[in-house]
A and B are shown apart, each in its own frame.
Chain A
């Protein structure tokens, strides 16, 4: 697997986790 793909997978994971946290904190209220 080329390096850019590993970077992409990790960053996508971080993005998904960030979205999840954001939704848990602010998303449910409104």
Chain B
């Protein structure tokens, strides 16, 4: 073990040993821990007013056990109920930060006012016949989709100044947190492509909803649910949430 005399190598191999030990310790105990939290969550959520619609998924985006739950199914609930559910779940011993599947760090203030403009119809007409395709389980756009994105950018041009929302959807294969991450990544990729084509970045919002909103009348497992949707909103219905609210969305 002569090479361990060099301090840098000794420190690095110690760190690697720590890495192996952490993988081993967590590999042995994490699944049980996450399962215990998963078992405790439904009762707490029901008590906080979430019924059995809201589920807490204790998995990281790549499907590994995590103590940071993803709350799914809270879309129809109002803000105070969501805040109460999030606080209740966070109070289970061992639970870390909470995310909502439809959430970012903004709260929606009151009833958002949506007024579709004509270019939304133009874009939807374009996407009715063809879809923006991606490489499998990747957010890299298929080369063949470039032309379609060109046309979408041209169709969006009359709406400059409005807020355009890009929503990514997936089918329900694979773990839901991963689906949500993937659909968000894809929506972001489309946003980046549109910015490249001269659509101003500050008017583009992205969002990934995973498999939560399948196409009407389609089975959630149908691959046709993998899609990108554009909606043009005339006003910006987003308002920052007060700091320290434990229910970011």
Residues in chain A within 8 A of chain B (CB atoms): 1-4, 6-8, 11-12, 15, 19
Additional A-B contacts beyond A2-B26, A11-B22 (16; CB < 8 A): A1-B66, A1-B68, A2-B65, A2-B66, A3-B30, A3-B33, A3-B34, A3-B64, A3-B66, A8-B18, A8-B26, A11-B18, A12-B15, A12-B19, A12-B22, A15-B15
* With known contacts A3-B33, A15-B15, A15-B18, A8–B65 Cβ distance under 8 A: no
Which residues 121-161 of B sit at the A interface, judged by CB distance below 8 A? Answer: none
Cα distance A7–B19 when bound, in Å? 9
Closest residue on chain A to residue B11 by CB atoms:
A19
* With known contacts A15-B14, A15-B15, A19-B11, A4–B30 Cβ distance under 8 A: yes
| Interface residues as binary, B13-41 with A (CB distance below 8 Å gives 1, 0 otherwise) | 01100110111011100100110000000
**A4, B21: Cβ atoms closer than 8 Å:** no
Number of interface residues of B (CB under 8 A): 21
**A7, B14: Cβ atoms closer than 8 Å:** no
Query: In the complex, how many residue pairs between chain A and chain B have their CB atoms under 8 Å apart?
Result: 46
Cα distance A6–B30 when bound, in Å? 11
> A residues within 8 A CB of B19?
8, 12
Cα distance A3–B19 when bound, in Å? 13
**B18, A4: Cβ atoms closer than 8 Å:** no
Cα distance A19–B8 when bound, in Å? 12
Interface hub of A2, A8, A15 (most chain B Cβ within 10 A): A2
Interface hub of A3, A4, A11 (most chain B Cβ within 10 A): A3
Candidates B11, B14, B21, B65; contact of A3 at CB < 8 Å? B65
Shortest distance from the beta carbon of A6 to any chain B beta carbon, whole Å = 7
Asked whether B249 is an interface residue with its Cβ less than 8 Å from the other chain, the reply is: no
> A residues within 8 A CB of B23?
4, 8
Shortest distance from the beta carbon of B97 to any chain A beta carbon, whole Å = 9
Shortest distance from the beta carbon of A19 to any chain B beta carbon, whole Å = 7
**A1, B18: Cβ atoms closer than 8 Å:** no
Asked whether B60 is an interface residue with its Cβ less than 8 Å from the other chain, the reply is: yes
> B residues within 8 A CB of A15?
14-15, 18
